[in-house]
């Protein structure tokens, strides 16, 4: 049983939860000006797990044929037969139901928008088949997390949450461009769309850097909009330093450090900023 659970967690890349979840918690802390009720925290976490599990499970189903053809991904659970399409489909349905149920327990607006959130995160799986802006689509999938957490706490959408969500969208799109550098030739051969395949690696990296620069500006705007103090801006400066280092690790001629740039440093970005926000909210 533990082995099966491990296979499923690997299939949905559970460790990548470190990308969106900290930003949802940042939004929650700022919206509540501290900790909300423990029930709210619990249902936010349940909604996040449901949304992300449904999205990743559905992506693995939709991309099963492509994953089997790509040397980088052919060892994933569905192409190797470790998880069946039926089992993955059941997981997607259960995870989607968890998201909707958690939203219902939070408030009427969260419940009303939960189907919209599901459509956004599930439809991403098809985006690479028709648009090179699929990186921004993925960014939107992660970017709705701060808005969702804000709604969970306050029961309404406010500009500050949209600014934070835009920052997350551009941050995600920027590092997804870096990640997709590994598949340029495969994408072109299979007729898939990505900015590296369309623009070439050099220009795609330039776009990624632009996205990350604008993301830092949006984080500053979020702090100004919500009245955060000095600790938050120190956190933004640390995030900027991590992103500069991340961008320095990749070039059109050297992709050997893509995984470090993609996972390790972006984990530091999200968790690090959450730590500084917690200091700001609770101690400043």
Residue 50 reports pLDDT greater than 70: yes
User: Are the beta carbons of 232 and 276 closer than 8 angstroms?
Assistant: yes
Q: Which of 273-284 are b and which e, b meaning 16 or more Cβ less than 10 Å from the residue's Cβ?
A: bbebbbbbbeee
* 142 CB-near residues (< 8 Å, 6+ apart): 19, 20, 23, 168, 169, 172
Structure tokens of 76?
Answer: 């994933």
**With the C-alpha atoms ordered 13, 39, 148, 62, is the resulting torsion angle positive or negative?**
positive
For CA atoms 134, 138, 75, 57, give the dihedral sign: negative
- Percent of the chain whose predicted confidence (pLDDT) is above 70: 99
pLDDT per residue over 92-111, tens digit each?
999 999 999 999 999 999 99
> Is residue 43 over pLDDT 90?
yes
**Segment 10-27 mean pLDDT:** 87
Q: What per-residue confidence (pLDDT) applies to 112?
A: 97
What is the set of domains in the chain, with CATH numbers? 2-283 (1.10.357.140)
**What is the pTM for the complete model shown?**
0.93
pLDDT digits over 161-208, tens only?
A: 999 999 999 999 999 999 999 999 999 999 999 999 999 999 999 999
Q: What is the pLDDT of residues 141-155, one digit of tens each?
A: 999 999 999 999 999
Q: How would residue 10 be classed by pLDDT, with cut points 50, 70 and 90? A: confident
Q: What pLDDT sits at residue 8?
A: 83
**Does residue 120 have a pLDDT over 70?**
yes
- Predicted local distance difference test score (pLDDT) of residue 212: 97
Q: What pLDDT was estimated at residue 1? A: 64
Higher pLDDT, 257 or 184: 184
- Give yes or no for residue 3 having a pLDDT over 90: no
| Mean pLDDT value of segment 244-267 | 84
Decide: helix, strand or coil at residue 108: helix
Averaged pLDDT for residues 219-237: 97
Whether pLDDT at 252 is above 90: no
Question: What's the chain's average pLDDT?
Answer: 93
Predicted confidence band of residue 242 (pLDDT cuts 50, 70, 90): very high
pLDDT over 90 (residue 19): no
Cα–chain-centroid distance for residue 10?
16
- Residue 2: the pLDDT is 64
């Amino acid at each position: 049983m533990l082995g099966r659970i491990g296979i499923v967690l690997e299939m949905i890349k559970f460790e990548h939860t470190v990308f969106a979840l900290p930003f949802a918690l940042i939004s929650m802390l700022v919206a509540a000006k501290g900790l909300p009720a423990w029930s709210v925290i619990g249902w936010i976490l349940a909604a996040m797990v449901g949304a992300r599990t449904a999205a990743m499970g559905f992506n693995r189903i939709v991309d099963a044929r492509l994953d089997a053809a790509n040397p980088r991904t052919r060892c994933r659970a569905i192409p190797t037969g470790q998880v069946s399409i039926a089992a993955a489909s059941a997981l997607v349905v259960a995870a989607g139901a968890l998201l909707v149920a958690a939203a219902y327990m939070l408030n009427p607006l969260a419940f009303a928008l939960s189907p919209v959130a599901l459509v956004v995160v599930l439809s991403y799986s098809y985006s690479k088949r028709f648009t090179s802006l699929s990186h921004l689509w993925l960014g939107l999938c992660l970017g709705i997390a701060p808005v969702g957490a804000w709604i969970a706490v306050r029961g309404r959408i406010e500009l500050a949450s949209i600014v934070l969500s835009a920052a997350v969208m551009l941050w995600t799109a920027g590092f997804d461009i870096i990640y997709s550098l590994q598949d340029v030739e495969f994408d072109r051969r299979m007729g898939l769309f990505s900015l590296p395949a369309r623009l070439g690696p050099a220009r795609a990296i330039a776009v990624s850097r632009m996205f990350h620069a604008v993301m830092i500006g949006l984080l500053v705007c979020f702090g100004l909009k919500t009245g955060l103090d000095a600790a938050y801006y120190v956190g933004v400066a640390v995030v900027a330093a991590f992103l500069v280092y991340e961008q320095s690790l990749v070039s059109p001629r050297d992709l050997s450090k893509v995984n470090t740039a993609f996972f390790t440093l972006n984990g530091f970005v999200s968790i690090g900023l959450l730590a500084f926000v917690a200091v700001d909210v609770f101690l400043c």
